[in-house]
Amino acid sequence: MAKIKTTFFCQNCGAQFPKWVGKCNSCNEWNTIVEEVIQREEKTSWKQAGSGKKVGKAVKLKEITAVNEERIDTCNKELNRVLGGGLVKGSIVLLGGEPGIGKSTLLLQIALMMKNRVLYVSGEESMTQIKLRADRLKSANENCLILTETKTHQIFNSAEETSPEVIVIDSIQTLHTELIEASPGSISQIRETTAELIKYAKETDTPVVLIGHITKEGHIAGPKILEHMVDVVLQFEGDRNHTYRILRAQKNRFGSTAELGIYEMLHTGLREVENPSEILISEKDSDLTGTAISATLEGMRPLMIEVQALVSTAVYGMPQRSCTGYNIKRLNMLLAVLEKRAGFKLGAKDVFLNIAGGLRVEDPAIDLAVVCAVLSSNSEISIPQNICFAAEVGLAGEIRAISRVEQRIQEAEKLGFKKIVLSKFNKIAKKNPEIEIIKVSKIEEVISVLFKV
């Protein structure tokens, strides 16, 4: 007979404990340990466990025939780009993001656009609420079926009757299986319901898309094994106060994790942004001080973004340093380089930095644009609109080379920039480009070129 045993899990990170404790030693959260019932089968030897079962045969690697995965078109170019070409049959995709960021809107919009039959299962909203959202999206798909259910066996019964080609679960935290005794959203239920969905997807070759909640730290809620079990983990990012959303792949067994998709949130749903560079660069009538354009890369996608800086005399005793969309520690380092290597006294001044469009950039190639924007605001000298920057700044004040510089040059050319400032250590394969390339090696050379100092 199987033994019934209880154990203790952390609801925040999924860590397991033999007894109840007040603080989780893994994530340092308080009062997140709950007791759950787990079922352990009677231990048997490996010989007894394998008796009477078909044994898999090991084969040589060269004898395995490689086949291309058959993919389903989602009718959404940005999602197809992130997935690597579409939904692979039998795959499990997990989508996470902040509450209200647009996860349900994105998947319902795709379900209404796809030509395949889609079963949209919602455990959080009623059919009337889904109908109102579908009317707002102004999309209609006769093949889209709506089911409001939380029990897995009822979902599988409905899927057997309707034979959908894609299943969307909103969300995995609301599902419940009768195989174990635990409340919906608990560690055991999330793990067991996901395992049932994976088994169904693999047996029927039906892709399943799951929506997952996240914790206050931004990680997907539930056990960490949830991310290991699924095939693709997508993260939907953005600020609810801005209109743009970014879709990233944190894990992808069928494609690259370097791609990203960009959407614009409108009252009629999410609009695909095919050329984000034109949107991320604000249009202005005249040259303004404190702005610089950087050629950056988000994954494999080149983007031209606008860096805005404001330098003013500190009114209070302690000067302020504030960043939006950029690492504050990186900004402090660049300010120290300017003061030590270039002689600019910024220690008694407030410095505010903003990445236009609500994006968050981690690319080190944006360093030079940040430096030039700060210097432009400090000296009240505007930078010409037809020049952009792409280089990393080192602690010694040197201008360092960056990766995939040809892609950045092509993006700058396409948007009509006349000059681009790069490190002289970058090797450019293309000869005689249409854009003028200014090569510098030290921060002093950049200052003399731009500000004629």
- Name the binding residues: 97-104
- How far is CA 226 from each of CA 14, 303, 316, rounded to the nearest angstrom? 10, 33, 49
* Crossing angle for the helix pair 103-113 and 127-137, to the nearest 10 degrees: 70
- Residue 172 CB neighbours (<10 A): 27
Beta bridge partners of 166: 118
Pairing of strands 349-355, 399-400: unpaired
Tokens at residue 234, please?
């997508």
Characterize the bridge pairing of strands 349-355 and 301-313: antiparallel
Do 260 and 89 meet the contact criterion of CB atoms below 8 Å apart?
no
User: By CB neighbour count within 10 A (0-12 exposed, 13-18 middle, 19+ buried), where does 304 fall?
Assistant: buried
Using CB atoms within 10 A of its CB, is residue 179 exposed (0-12), middle (13-18) or buried (19+)? Answer: middle
Q: What is the DSSP letter of 173?
A: G
| 3 state SS of 444 | helix
Annotation: binding site for ATP: 97-104
Nearest alpha carbon to residue 96 among 225, 181, 264, 213: 213
Q: How far apart are CA 103 and CA 97, in angstroms?
A: 7
Phi, psi of 74 (to 5 degrees): -90, 0
- Contact between 393 and 337 under an 8 Å Cβ cutoff? The reply is yes
Contact status, residue 12 vs residue 215, Cβ threshold 8 Å: yes
Q: CB atoms < 10 A from the CB of 159, how many? A: 19
Distance of CA 280 to the CA centre of its chain: 18
Q: What are φ and ψ of residue 399, in 5° steps? A: -95, 115
Q: Any idea what DSSP says for residue 214?
A: B
Q: Which residues pair with 235 in a beta bridge?
A: 96, 248
Q: Which residues of 135-268 form beta strands (DSSP E)? A: 144-148, 166-170, 208-212, 232-238, 244-252, 260-266
Quickly count: other Cβ atoms within 10 Å of residue 106's Cβ. Answer: 25
